[in-house]
Every structure is written in C-alpha cells, then in structure tokens.
Amino acid sequence: MLHKFIVYVEDKPGVLNRVSSLLRRRSYNIESLAVGHTDKAGVSRMTFTVDTDELTSFRIEANLYKLVNVLRVERITDEPAVERELTLIKVRANDQSRPSILQIVDVFRGRVVDVANESLIVELTGTQDKIEGMLEMLRTHGIVEMVRTGTIVMGRGPDAPAISPEFVQARVPEESTAR
C-alpha cells in the first residue's frame, strides 16, 4: 500500500540527503518525493510516498523523528487530503494529429505550454490516475519526453499542522542572526 508522509524539516544543506538515506538504508523505495519551502522562514516541507505495509509506515515515522533536523512528521495516508502532481509531456504533433491532441488535452483540462512544428509540450496537474489516463491517450501519438514532479499532499480543513513557534524559533535561527 502507498503511504504518504509530510515531513517538516529545518531548511539546511544535507537534510534531504539524511532523510532519503534513512529510507535507503532500511531498503524502503521512495515512489514519489517533492520538497519545497513553506511560509515559515527556515522551514522546508517534504512530501514523499513509500510503498509499504502499515507497521513499517509507523517505523518510518518513528525513525524520521530521530533525525536532528526533523521538526514534524505527518502520516497522511488515511487523512482527508488534496493530492496533486504536475507533469510536462512532449508529444509528436503534425498538422494531421494536432487537432486530436488538442482535443485530448482539453478533455483532461491540460494546457499546451509550447508549440513547435513537429511537437507540443502539454502541462497537466492532477491526481496520478488523471495523469496516467492522459498519458495512455497520448501514447498513440508518440510521447517524446515526459517529466513528473512527484505527488504533493495537503490535509483538508481549516487547521494547519502544529509546529510550535517556540520550538521552531529555538531550532531555526532568524535570518538576521543566521549570518
């Protein structure tokens, strides 16, 4: 089963390596990984998906908390959440196939972001199922190249995850004092 984790970490060099190495050392395969800044200075957010059983997902969470730079871990697999992935797809397109491709892109609510004589680059944001569906339709036209960002997940509802401001402030220096 795919288990989804959101990990808030200090925004410091080497943190991504420490988290991914922890998973690698225990032979867990990361299916998807996305990392980015948060609205809090000095805090980054990792979203990753691991194909494992329930017990192992608890172990992963416990092991992540052992890392010094980890501020908070959320296992969001069973929580109500919004999940999205961004994909860019370069597909062969000549004068005859272009209208058909544009119709497929429109049905999936994608967007053409680049047009060349013999190809189109399509942008699609959505769930993995939606992306897989459009890829299946475009394969008959010839996919030249594709890149996917990895899944990002955000819990539903009005509340943000509790990362104690005092805890973050004590561990993450302000920009003015960090230099």
Q: Quick check: do 2-79+158-178 and 82-148 share a fold? A: yes
What average pLDDT values come out for the chain (179 residues) when binned by 10 residues?
A: 92 92 89 90 92 90 90 89 94 95 97 96 95 96 94 83 54 47
Domain boundaries of the chain, sorted by first residue: 2-79+158-178, 82-148
d(CA 128, CA 135): 10
User: For position 163, what pLDDT does the model report?
Assistant: 64
Q: Which residues contact 56 (CB under 8 A, 6 or more apart)?
A: 28
User: For position 107, what pLDDT does the model report?
Assistant: 97
CATH class held by domain 2-79+158-178:
alpha beta
CATH topology of domain 82-148: Alpha-Beta Plaits (3.30.70)
Q: Which residues contact 76 (CB under 8 A, 6 or more apart)?
A: 4, 5, 6, 153, 155
What is the residue type of 34?
A: A
Model-wide pTM > 0.85: no
